[in-house]
Copies of this chain bind each other. A is one copy, B any other.
Amino acid sequence: MNILAIGDIVGNFGVDYASAKIKKVCGEHNIDFVIANGENSAVGNGITRETAQKIFNSGADVITLGNHAFSKKDVVNLLLNMSVIRPINYPERTVGEGCIIKEKKGKKIAVINAIGRLNLLNVDCPFKTVMRKIRQIKDECDIIIVDFHAEATSEKSALANYLDSYATVVYGTHTHVQTADERILPGGTGFITDIGMTGVTDSVLGVKKDIIIRRFMTQMPERFSLADGKCEMRGAVFKIDDKTNKCTEIVRIRE
């Protein structure tokens, strides 16, 4: 079982680019299951019915989100009616789910989306919330994948190590920069701090360079405007052994 995870897809350019490249990677890497982070797919962040539809059409089985999950109102409908999940540690009663279980090739695959608290959002403890969910679903699932949307490398590494042997894979999103630290933790969980972004390369995290530079230098408010130009799709392929259901290899994707 080969699972492809795609990092934060940014704007129309990112959505369109992912469309072509997901199919290519699926062919080349014999992919069975695709998870894509869609929190920045809409103009000005968030996700809309249109961007979600395009991402699903590109081959995604599940869309995960992050701190921008609720920027657009469409998201409520998507969370209720499509395979779109939001961070599980938003407070109870938040619309939608933070975990989804799908079947592929005879395997039950759970995808959990969680979000960090350090310099990010004042939500419930991701450590406890994710572990509780894993305890609840582990008997009915073969594979458990966690997209941890977080800022600090310390929090991401800590959660992955906490879930080591409980989750099949823990990967990070949010920083929009792919890390080169993929490894199998001692307990067998596959981990990479961040799988990166899908969007325009000549930019600051997908946004026009000049705007972000000015914001840092002047501290003036200024609306973001997406960069255009050549794109890159970043993500990772997690190879899962069909007998042990363990992650045996992580291949970083750069297309």
Chain B residue, CB-CB nearest to A209: B161
Q: A124-B124, A221-B71 are in contact. Are A180 and B216 (CB under 8 A)?
A: no
Q: A70-B221, A179-B178, A216-B127 are known contacts. Are A158 and B204 too (CB-CB below 8 A)?
A: yes
Q: Does A11 reach chain B (CB closer than 8 Å)?
A: no
- Interface flags for A179-206 (1: CB within 8 Å of B; 0: not) read 1110101100000011010000110110
Which residues in window 152-180 of A have CB below 8 A to B?
152-155, 157-159, 161-162, 175-180
**Is A21 part of the binding interface, using a Cβ–Cβ cutoff of 8 Å?**
no
Interface size on A, residues (CB 8 A): 53
A219 B122 Cβ-Cβ under 8 A:
yes
Is A218 within 8 A of B94, CB to CB? yes
Complex interface: chain B residues within 8 A of A137 (CB) = none
Lowest 6 A-B CB distances belong to which pairs? A180-B180, A117-B122, A157-B204, A153-B175, A178-B180, A153-B177
